[in-house]
Amino acid sequence: MDVTWTSNPSFVLFTNNIFVGAARSPEFTRQLFMTNTFSGGVTRPVTIDGNRTENPLFVDPNTNGNLAGFLLQTSSLARNSGSVIASNGGKDFWGVTLPTSAPHRGAAQINRISDFTATASFLRLTGSDAVEIPQSGSNASLFVPMVRDQNFRPMASAAITWSIRPAVSGVSMDADGTLRVASNAVPRRIAVQATSGGAVAEYSVALYANHGIAYEWAGGNGNWNDTSSSGWNGGPPVNGDRAWIGLGSVASTANNQQSGIAITVAGSGLLRSGGHYLTPGNLTFTDGGTVQLENTGHYANYGGGLLPQTVAVRGSSTTGAFLLGGADHAFWNMSQGTVFDVDDITGDMSADLTISAGLKDAVGSPDTAWKQGRER
C-alpha cells in the first residue's frame, strides 16, 4: 500500500489495519495511524496511544498469491481486535463473504495453514471452437481447465469430471480433457462440460465435415429438417451424404431436397414426399421399408418424384418393400432409365417389391419401365 500520494495528509486516518511492506519502504510520516500493526520489517514509533508496532504474526507472509499465508496465528495481537465497518458489502477482495462475529470480524483467521480448506469455486475452459469429423478413425482436441478456489487462487490438482452435452454417437471425452470425434459422428454443435466440486464450465464446439456423412433417423415422426435426438441428431443430410431410415417416418419439406443423397429405407421406416417433388440420389430398400408420394396433384407433367437409375431391394422381410403413390398425378418419373434390382427378400412367392403408383418416362417416349431380378 502506497500512502504517500495524498495532498491533504491531515485528513487521512488509518485505524485497525495491518500494513505489509514487501518490495519497497513505505512512508508513514504524514498520516495518522491508530491501532495498526506492521509487517515486513516496518516499525513505527508509538505516537498514538494504542498504536501497535508488533509483528502481526502471519502464518506465512512470504507466500506469493496465497491468501492462506496471511492468516493470523492464534497469538497475534491483531486477532479479535478488528471492528466491523458498516455497509462494507460483506465481501473481501475475491468476493468471498466475510464473517462479522468474533473472532473473525471481517478477517480470515485460522490457527494453522492446514485448517484452510480450498474449495473449487471458479472454473474456465480453453480449447478449440470447431473439430473436424474424419473420414476414418478419430480426431482429438485437448481442452484445458483452470480451477480456482473461493479466494480465486489456482488449484493445480483439482479433480475434473468431463462430459458431453448432449450425449451423441461418435463423440467422447477422456479423463485428461481430450475430446475425441470419430468418423461416425455427425455435424452439429455440442458442449464440452467440466465439473470440479460445485464449479461447472461449458465450451461450445462445432463438429463439421468436409466429406459425405452417414446419418441415421432415430425413429421419430417428423420432417427432413428435424435435427433433434428423435430425428437425425445432427445434419440434416445434404447432397453427398447417406441417409438411413429404419424406424419412424420422415417427410420432405422442399422440392428436390434429397437430390444427391444415397437413401436407404429399411424395416418399418417410411419416407414421405410431404407434397414435394421427391428426388433420391440413390434408393435402396433393406429388410422392407416404404417410400410414398402424397398430395402431388400439382405435378401433372413430371409426377411426384424422380426415381434414380437403380432402385435396389435387399435383405429379408415377410412383407417386402413398398413404393407407393397417391391421388391425382402421384406417379414416379423414370426419365433416368430406372432399373429395379430386386432380390427375393420374402423367400416365397409373396411380392418382394410392391409398386402402387404410376411409372412413367415423363420426358422420353413411349412410357417404359425397366426391371432386373424379381418384381411383383
Band the pLDDT of 177: cuts 50, 70, 90.
Answer: very high
Type of residue numbered 184: N
Q: What is the DSSP letter of 188?
A: E
Contact 324, 298 (CB under 8 A): no
- Nearest in space to 145 (alpha carbons), one of 201, 65, 77, 184: 201
Please say if the pLDDT value at position 17 is more than 80.
no
The span from the CA of 290 to the CA of 286, in Å, is 10
The pLDDT, as a whole number, for residue 105 is 47
Instruction: Please state the rounded mean pLDDT for residues 190-219.
Output: 93
Please say if the pLDDT value at position 370 is more than 70.
no
DSSP sequence for 293-311: --S-TT-TTT-SEE--SEE
The pLDDT, as a whole number, for residue 79 is 72
The span from the CA of 167 to the CA of 188, in Å, is 12
The pLDDT, as a whole number, for residue 311 is 96
- Nearest in space to 65 (alpha carbons), one of 152, 172, 143: 152
Band the pLDDT of 135: cuts 50, 70, 90.
Answer: confident
% of the chain beyond a pLDDT of 70: 65
Please say if the pLDDT value at position 111 is more than 90.
no
The span from the CA of 342 to the CA of 99, in Å, is 81
87-111: string of b/e by CB count within 10 Å (b at 16+)?
eeeeebeeeeebeeeeebbbbbbbe
Of the ranges 71-85, 117-131, 234-248, 281-295, which one carries the lowest mean pLDDT score? 71-85
Reply yes or no on domain 122-208 having CATH 2.60.40.60.
Answer: yes
Contact 45, 26 (CB under 8 A): no
The span from the CA of 369 to the CA of 255, in Å, is 24
Of the ranges 37-41, 145-149, 248-252, 319-323, which one carries the lowest mean pLDDT score? 37-41
The pLDDT, as a whole number, for residue 336 is 86
- Please report, for the chain, the start and end positions of each structural domain, with discontinuous segments joined by +: 122-208, 214-373
The pLDDT, as a whole number, for residue 268 is 96
Question: pLDDT by residue (tens digit) across 227-270?
Answer: 988 999 888 999 999 999 999 999 999 999 999 999 999 999 99
Instruction: Please state the rounded mean pLDDT for residues 54-79.
Output: 67
- Considering 7-11, 26-30, 182-186, the range whose residues carry the highest mean pLDDT is 182-186
Contact 105, 146 (CB under 8 A): no
| Cβ neighbours, 10 Å, residue 154 | 13
Q: To which H or E segment does residue 130 belong?
A: strand 130-132
Residues 6+ apart with CB under 8 A from 128: 141, 143, 179, 205
The pLDDT, as a whole number, for residue 92 is 53
Q: Is 243 left (phi over 0), alpha (psi -120 to 50) or beta?
A: beta
The pLDDT, as a whole number, for residue 210 is 86
Question: pLDDT by residue (tens digit) across 73-107?
Answer: 777 777 766 555 555 555 554 555 665 555 444 45
Instruction: Please state the rounded mean pLDDT for residues 201-206.
Output: 96
Please say if the pLDDT value at position 25 is more than 70.
no
The pLDDT, as a whole number, for residue 366 is 47
Q: To which H or E segment does residue 360 belong?
A: strand 359-360
- Give the cell for residue 338: 430406372
pTM over the 0.85 mark: no
The pLDDT, as a whole number, for residue 359 is 84
Band the pLDDT of 154: cuts 50, 70, 90.
Answer: confident
